[in-house]
Amino acid sequence: MKRFILCISGVPGTGKTRAAEELGRITGCSVVSLNKLIKSGKIKSAWDRKRKTSVVSEKGLDRQVKKLLGEGNYIIEGGLAHFIRCDLCVILRTDPEVLMKRLGKRGWPGWKIRENVMAEMLDEAVIDAGTRNKRIIEIDTTRTGPKRAAVTIKMALNNYRLQRQYCPRINWIKKYPELLIKLGA
């Protein structure tokens, strides 16, 4: 049996975990949380005291994760999932103004909110995904709940072989050029 891997990535607050759980329920695929693997020590990481976050080498991430997987179909979710070579890479995107509010509700410090909103605006996950994967789709989750996001991903999954080349869809810089300046880019 061949292994099929779908990765769901994006900055914090875009709905990766809940969309992956819902998609797993709909499809019957096993859901793998990168955050849980990191916290359990199954993926090597170091703690960055200044930024208060785990740091993982993206070079060895693909190999470390795939060592843990058997045969079957997997949904791998997490903010670093786009660094894993996969059959289809889904990047969840959220309007920067909405994202700021979501992350603020988590009680995050301003610098961490700015860092993640800047990453969203500059398409970091999309660009990084493009260095490893051919089939990439973006889904705007600004006004979409996990069920709707999962259904959209399922539809893309049904048609993923038809996708030849990635074409960027979402451009927050065009919509919010003044916000980029405000964030200090």
For residue 145, what pLDDT is reported?
92
Q: What does the domain layout of the chain look like in residue ranges?
A: 4-95+124-168
Fold topology of 4-95+124-168: Rossmann fold (3.40.50)
pTM: 0.90
| Residue 103 half-sphere exposure toward CB, CA atoms < 13 A | 23
Q: First-to-last CA distance in the chain?
A: 47
Averages of pLDDT over runs of 10 residues in the chain (185 residues) are 88 98 96 94 88 83 90 95 94 97 96 95 93 90 94 84 61 82 74
For residue 79, what pLDDT is reported?
96
Q: How far apart are CA 43 and CA 9, in angstroms?
A: 17
Residue 36's nearest CA partner among 92, 87, 81 is: 81
